[in-house]
Structure 1
Amino acid sequence: MKPADEERIAARLAKLMAMICVRNTGIEELHAGTVPVTHTGDYSDVFITDADGRKFPWSDASHLDDDQMRSLMRQIVDRLYTFYLKADDPGFRDHLDRWLTLAERWDEPQVDDAFLATITGGEAKLPR
């Protein structure tokens, strides 16, 4: 297979998996709700006051507690696992085609060199 074909397939698969295995999970609940107003654009002018009366910057607040993070990661892992197990099932693939129509509207993915360096200990870069 030509490198351009591999890149095209990988891009489509990455967007599809991001949409159905990550986006449509508990992350939607975290995305829902009221977004605070910021005049600086970086939320440095937004503060939180907790139940103990502590006031701290929005950027210093944890937006997920440990239970929420654990639940979200379990859901994502379960969906990725299911995706891999069912990827060759024709009925499952028919449904994926409908989701792919939406996912293909997203920006094209880029190689994440920082991620790659973290995983490989800085030893490798993907050819471009």
Structure 2
Amino acid sequence: MKPADEARIAARLAQLMAMICVRNTGIEELHAGTVPVTHAGDYSDVFITDAGGRQIPWTDASHLDDDRMRHLMRQIVDRLYTFHLKASDPGFRDHLDRWLAVAERWDEPKLDEAFLSGIVGNEAAKLPR
């Protein structure tokens, strides 16, 4: 297969997996809700007042507690697992084709050099011993 074809297929697969395995998860709950107004543009002028009366800058506040993060990651892992396990099922593929039409409207993906160098650069240090 030509490198350009591999890149095109990888791009569509990445968009599709992001759409159905990541976007349509608990991330939607985080995305829903009221977006605070910021005049600074970077949310440095937005504060959260917690139940203890502390004012926490929006940029310093955790927006996910450990339980929500664990739940979100389980959803994503389960969906990625299901995607890979059912990718050859004709009914599942028909469903994917419908979502691909939406996902293809997103920006073209690009190679994440920082991600790649972090994995390759730290590969030896992270191997189980």
For normalisation by structure 2, the TM-score amounts to 0.93
> Equivalent residues in 2 for 1:42-57 (5 A)?
42-57=42-57
Q: How much has 1:122 moved relative to structure 2?
A: 6.2
- Uncovered stretches (5+) of structure 1, i.e. residues with no partner: 124-128
- 1:16-57 deviation per Cα after TM superposition (whole angstroms, max 9, x unaligned): 000000000011001000000001110001011111111121
Where does 1:1-128 land on structure 2 (aligned, <5 Å)? 1-121=1-121
SS in 2 for 1:82: helix
Query: 1:54 & 1:35 partners in 2: Cα distance?
Result: 20
Q: Alpha-carbon deviations, 1:83-102, whole Å to 9, x = none?
A: 00000111110110000000
Q: CA deviation at 1:118?
A: 1.2
* Number of equivalenced pairs: 123
Task: Show structure 2 runs of 5+ residues with no match.
Answer: 124-129
1:48 and 1:55 in contact (8 A); partners too: yes
Aligned to 1:56, what secondary structure does the other structure show? strand
The runs of 4+ residues in structure 1 deviating greater than 6 Å are none
TM-score, reference length from structure 1 = 0.94
Same amino acid, percent of matched pairs: 84
